[in-house]
Amino acid sequence: MKIPVSRPLIGRLESIYVNKALQEGAISGLYGDFIGRFEDEFADFCGVDYAVSCSSGTAALHLSLLAAGVLPGDEVLVSTLTNMATIFAILYIGARPIPVDIEANSLGIDPQYLEGKINSKTTAIMVVHLFGHPANMNKVIEIANKHKLLVIEDCAEAHGAEVSRVKVGGLGSAGAFSFFANKIISTGEGGMVTTNSLEIAKKARSLRSLAFGDAEKFMHVDVGYNYRMTNIQAAIGCGQMAMVEELISRRREVAEYYNSRFESYRDVLLLPSEANWAKNVIWMYHVCLSGSMRGKRTLVRDMLLKEGVETRDGFIPFNMQKIFIESGLVTIEQCPVANTFAFDSFYLPTGPDISKNEMEFVADRLLNILIQLR
Ligand SMILES: *Cc1c(COP(=O)(O)O)cnc(C)c1O
């Protein structure tokens, strides 16, 4: 048996749409019907007024910060446990990312540390809805409103996740999604900025395509970027949108199954959670070794791999990244809760197409290993 951590599930519609785009010669990011259609369908899905497609999740993060008006020299409070693309996007602006520790359950930014870090340079809070669980937005937004800060959501892992029954992507000033191959839906590479602000949508749309002029196309109105999604990628996206709800419920079923198997091992294995105000879309079934299993991640992952079960390490937090410690941007001690996940967390095969047999196999093998090693 060989079970990958995830594989994209590509339906029949995707090839039909891609062929249509190819036959029409609408292959770039400026022409073709699928781009606008994908944006409209994605905006509807998220319950937001505007969606602006782009070339990657990282580009979407950069565009949302630019369009929301974060400036060089600003301080941005950001959840420390994330894909470093979140941090890089803040650095592209010339702004300063300030690491904020996480809540152990949601794995999102911990609101209790925000106010202590706000000063006259702070202009934005960047939350990350990690592994499909939304950040504690009600508290974040309360604090942001009180201090007149922007809120940017990194939704790269959380398509369809909900806070108090409202989907992520429109909870703050702007949201950024990724459509990389292993995300909830994929276009190969791709991203989307979501917002309820016409001004932010217009700015993101302009900047993603070289900020061409309106009356005089080649009289540019700003320093723009080429962050366009191609019509071929959008064609794949339209195909994926037809099954997005199904893809999410499949992932939730996988988590339910694993939870039921690992329930009585919580003393050595922290499991994904779901706050009572949240819907977790389970981007990946992320676990963390604890108690007597601490420090045994490499061993556990190697033993699983020998059985054919592929896994991945969890993220190393921003405050533990060597390059940023050396440059004086962070110190290791800043975020003790996030640090506990750095070298003991990993995720299990969570693809939407994993079979009952495969799930059983993964759970059996991991349980055996826990019993052997604990
Ligand atoms: C995947 C991911 C990104 C980056 O998206 P790309 O499409 O790979 O550029 C950013 N943030 C988080 C949290 C991610 O998981």
Query: Using 50, 70 and 90 to split pLDDT, how confident is the model at 374?
Result: confident
pLDDT by residue (tens digit) across 128-180?
999 999 999 999 999 999 999 999 999 999 999 999 999 999 999 999 999 99
321: Cβ below 6 Å to ligand 1? no
Tell me, using a 6 A CB cutoff, whether residue 64 lines ligand 1.
Answer: no
- pLDDT per residue as tens digits for the range 209-235: 999 999 999 999 999 999 999 999 999
The whole-chain average pLDDT of the chain stands at 97
348 lines ligand 1 (CB under 6 A): no
**Is residue 17 scored above 90 in pLDDT?**
yes
Q: Is the CB of 123 under 6 A from ligand 1?
A: no
Q: How far is the CA of 182 from the centre of ligand 1 (A)?
A: 10
- Per residue in 248-291, pLDDT tens? 999 999 999 999 999 999 999 999 999 999 999 999 999 999 99
**Ligand 1 atom at minimal distance to the Cα of residue 183:** 1
d(CA 91, CA 85): 10
C-alpha 273 – ligand 1 centre gap (Å): 21
Q: Model-level pTM?
A: 0.98
- In 3D space, the residue among 71, 53, 33, 36 whose CA is nearest the CA of residue 204 turns out to be 53
pLDDT digits (tens, 9 = 90+) for 101-135: 999 999 999 999 999 999 999 999 999 999 999 99
Q: Residue 322: exposed, middle, or buried by beta-carbon count in 10 A (0-12, 13-18, 19+)? A: exposed
Indicate if ligand 1 lies below 6 Å from the C-beta of 86.
Answer: yes
Interval 281-318: pLDDT, tens:
999 999 999 999 999 999 999 999 999 999 999 999 99
127 lines ligand 1 (CB under 6 A): no
Q: What is the pLDDT of residue 1?
A: 83
Q: From ligand 1's centre to the CA of 62, what distance in Å?
A: 11
**50-98 tens-digit pLDDT:** 999 999 999 999 999 999 999 999 999 999 999 999 999 999 999 999 9
CA 156 – ligand 1 centroid, Å: 5
Indicate if ligand 1 lies below 6 Å from the C-beta of 58: yes
- Where residue 8 falls among pLDDT bands split at 50, 70, 90? confident
For residue 179, the ligand 1 atom closest to its alpha carbon is 7
Q: Is 282 in the pocket of ligand 1 (CB under 6 A)?
A: no
The distance of Cα 205 from the centroid of its chain, to the nearest Å, equals: 21
**Ligand 1 centroid – CA 84 distance (Å):** 8
Range 314-317 contact pairs with CB under 8 angstroms and sequence separation of 24 or more: 314/286, 314/288, 314/341, 314/342, 314/344, 314/345, 314/346, 314/347, 315/81, 315/82, 315/83, 315/84, 315/341, 315/342, 315/345, 316/342, 316/343, 317/80, 317/81, 317/82, 317/99, 317/341, 317/342
Give the position, in ligand 1's atom list, of the atom nearest the Cα of 180.
7
Ligand 1 center to residue 127 CA distance, Å?
13
Give the closest residue (by CA) to ligand 1 atom 10: 85
